[in-house]
């Protein structure tokens, strides 16, 4: 399929000498010369614009063809930007018999080739997930923006906006860097001009505008620059599947097939199995993929090539403009999979080092692996997606710490899940996590048991994959996702009026400081030791509720001993000679204590020890 990028040209009130027609939108706001894909598609939007004939006269830029659609307010233009094209103002001339022509100057820019961008996020990184509205308020002037559909600010309500913003994130980068974070993932930051619950960002009404209650496009770019100056990275959260009900292309759609329409409202079934079930009914597949996620989030029709282009080019624009390093792909299974594979190839062609991972909230390792690249499990489909959010290990670590030890239960569940890693092209590309903005806080999942909580953290930082920490995990924020807003509480100290500041040691309790120190110790050790980033993994079959595994490379070996029992345990190291080899000592990464490798390891109930194996 011939690839295009989509431009939606945003011309604010541009009309010629009283001409009733005016072009209202230009998206993206500009483009660049020298991109890998020379052909782009401009979508011009304005009242009756289809009646006008466009022309381009600019060296190196050619108008290949025009597309009229059902809605007379749209015209799609295929443009070729040749290798000789220079940065500058490209005049697009619109003419119509009996009317005076008018022009719009569209800007082509030089690419900032020396500016960091599209670096990719790998197992060498630690991702810190932030819901910006709930993290820190760095600019109280943008808390309420007149003219938007939701203007209520109420920190006492989990449904209204609280005022956190991009400046608040920028202000806390020292804190994150000190903690050992290398990458920041923000929940979607595009404008969500919806009447209710606009804070979470997953119902976009604009594709090229940062929500003004969070900041500006320039501020988002500044955030990327601030991160890059520290050697850190930025992940952008993308939503291919749906938009907000107030998105401008929903209010005035280009065509009747811009969205998935049904005779009456039809919700998705959320049953991912039908997408690869060899016995599935086509009707079930269609409802899963084409049904709406919720009534306020219309389902985009990825069979429409203009829709595909419109979505894809917006993502490329943000990488080039802001310097984004990676993508998280929301509700991956609900998208058209053929489109997502094509999208991935287009993005990789433009940015070979950029990486992305899809949200796959499914149940079962094959269900999850099917969405990763390589077509490794006998499916006639290759997503070209490096990795996924690893819900299977997430479920398994909860079972490991809460379940009773059994043949397939307790920590044996975690062992068995990791034993299935052969179904992935590379499981190290998967993002592992204890909790996120949709899941109950892990401290609550383990009954607010600090020992169990630390065991989960120890596993997170020492297992394979890309670890992701949810904001506030380092100070033990808690609650169950019933409803979701309960796990999206404000970070104490992020607001000027907060009486307690848990970004500082003096504002934290003894327990909170202990947790912060524990996370920092593990995170910084992982950051400074490639063995926990790219080292091989060897795990031993759990016995008597004890799970032992190693990370190792040519330089170092790390041994992790997890006691999931309700009683203390003593572990002999003799069973693990294959990995310990000729080492003589074990150094506890947390305490610094060094012990003889032949001495029995004593573990309190529900605790995990992490040792560096010393020669």
The one catalytic residue among 206, 299, 325, 330: 330
Tokens, residue 60: 């190196």
- Asked whether the beta carbons of 80 and 61 are under 8 A apart, the reply is yes
Using DSSP, how many helices (H) and how many strands (E) does the chain show? 14, 25
359 catalytically annotated: yes
CA separation for the pair 490, 488 (Å, rounded): 7
CA separation for the pair 583, 598 (Å, rounded): 10
CA separation for the pair 320, 556 (Å, rounded): 38
What is the gyration radius of the CA atoms in the chain, in angstroms? 26
CA separation for the pair 609, 106 (Å, rounded): 60
CA separation for the pair 103, 118 (Å, rounded): 34
425 catalytically annotated: no
CA separation for the pair 573, 598 (Å, rounded): 6
Q: Backbone dihedral region of 120: left (phi > 0), alpha (psi from -120 to 50 degrees) or beta?
A: left
The residue with tokens 């659609």 is 69
- Asked whether the beta carbons of 334 and 288 are under 8 A apart, the reply is yes
| Cα–Cα distance list, 440 to 179, 472, 482 (Å) | 23, 13, 8
Residue closest to 441 by CA, chosen among 411, 409, 413, 471: 471
The one catalytic residue among 133, 299, 325, 359: 359
CA separation for the pair 538, 559 (Å, rounded): 10
Helix axes 391-402, 411-419, angle to 10 degrees: 150
CA separation for the pair 340, 355 (Å, rounded): 14
- Asked whether the beta carbons of 309 and 5 are under 8 A apart, the reply is yes
Largest CA distance in the chain: 95
| Residues carrying an active site annotation | 330, 359
């Amino acid at each position: 399929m011939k690839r295009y990028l989509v431009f939606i040209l945003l011309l604010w009130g541009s009309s010629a000498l009283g001409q009733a027609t005016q072009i209202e939108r230009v998206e993206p706001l500009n483009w660049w010369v020298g991109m890998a894909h020379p052909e782009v598609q401009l979508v011009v939007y304005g009242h009756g614009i289809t009646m006008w004939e466009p022309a381009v006269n600019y060296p190196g830029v050619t108008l290949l063809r025009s597309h009229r659609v059902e809605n007379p307010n749209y015209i799609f233009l295929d443009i070729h930007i040749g290798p000789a094209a220079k940065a500058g103002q490209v005049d697009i001339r619109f003419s119509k018999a009996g009317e005076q022509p008018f022009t719009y100057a569209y800007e082509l820019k030089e690419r900032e080739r020396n500016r960091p961008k599209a670096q990719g996020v790998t197992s060498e990184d630690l991702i810190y997930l932030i819901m910006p509205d709930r993290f820190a308020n760095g600019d109280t002037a943008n808390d309420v923006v007149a003219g938007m559909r939701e203007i209520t600010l109420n920190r006492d309500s989990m449904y209204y906006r609280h005022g956190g913003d991009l400046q608040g994130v920028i202000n806390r980068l020292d804190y994150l860097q000190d903690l050992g974070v290398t990458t920041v993932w923000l929940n979607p930051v595009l404008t969500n001009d919806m009447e209710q619950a606009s804070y979470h960002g997953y119902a976009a009404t604009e594709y090229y505008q940062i929500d003004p209650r969070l900041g500006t496009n320039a501020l988002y770019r500044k955030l990327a620059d601030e991160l890059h100056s520290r050697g850190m990275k930025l992940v952008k959260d993308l939503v291919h599947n749906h938009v907000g009900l107030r998105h401008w292309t929903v209010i005035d759609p280009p065509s009747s097939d811009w969205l998935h329409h049904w005779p009456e409202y039809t919700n998705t079934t959320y049953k991912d199995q039908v997408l690869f079930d060899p016995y599935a009914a086509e009707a079930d597949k269609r409802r899963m993929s084409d049904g709406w996620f919720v009534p306020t989030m219309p389902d985009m029709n990825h069979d429409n090539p203009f829709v595909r282009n419109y979505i894809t080019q917006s993502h490329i624009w943000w990488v080039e403009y802001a310097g984004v390093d990676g993508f998280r792909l929301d509700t991956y299974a609900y998208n058209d999979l053929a489109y997502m594979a094509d999208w991935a190839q287009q993005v990789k062609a433009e940015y070979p080092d950029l990486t992305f991972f899809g949200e796959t909230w499914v149940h079962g390792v094959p269900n999850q692996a099917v969405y990763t690249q390589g077509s490794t499990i006998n499916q006639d489909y290759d997503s070209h997606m490096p990795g996924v959010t690893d819900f299977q290990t997430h479920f398994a670590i909860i079972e490991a710490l809460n379940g009773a030890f059994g043949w397939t239960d307790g920590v044996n569940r975690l062992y068995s899940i990791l034993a299935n890693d052969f179904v992935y092209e590379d499981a190290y590309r998967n993002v592992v996590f204890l909790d996120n903005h949709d899941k109950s806080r892990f401290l609550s999942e383990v009954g607010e048991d600090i020992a169990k909580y630390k065991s989960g953290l120890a596993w997170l930082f020492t297992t394979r994959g890309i670890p992701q920490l949810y904001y506030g995990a380092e100070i033990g924020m808690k609650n169950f996702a019933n409803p979701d807003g309960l796990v999206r509480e404000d970070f104490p100290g992020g607001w000027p009026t907060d009486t307690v500041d848990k970004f500082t040691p003096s504002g934290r309790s003894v327990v909170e400081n202990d947790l912060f120190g524990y996370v920092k110790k593990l995170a910084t050790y992982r950051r400074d030791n490639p063995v926990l980033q790219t080292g091989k993994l060897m795990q031993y079959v759990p016995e008597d509720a004890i799970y032992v595994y190693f990370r190792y490379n040519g330089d170092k070996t790390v041994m992790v001993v997890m006691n999931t029992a309700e009683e203390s345990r003593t572990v002999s190291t003799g069973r693990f000679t294959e990995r310990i080899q000729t080492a003589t000592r074990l150094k506890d990464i947390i305490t610094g204590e060094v012990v003889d490798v032949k001495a029995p390891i004593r573990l309190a109930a529900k605790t995990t020890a992490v040792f560096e194996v010393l020669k």
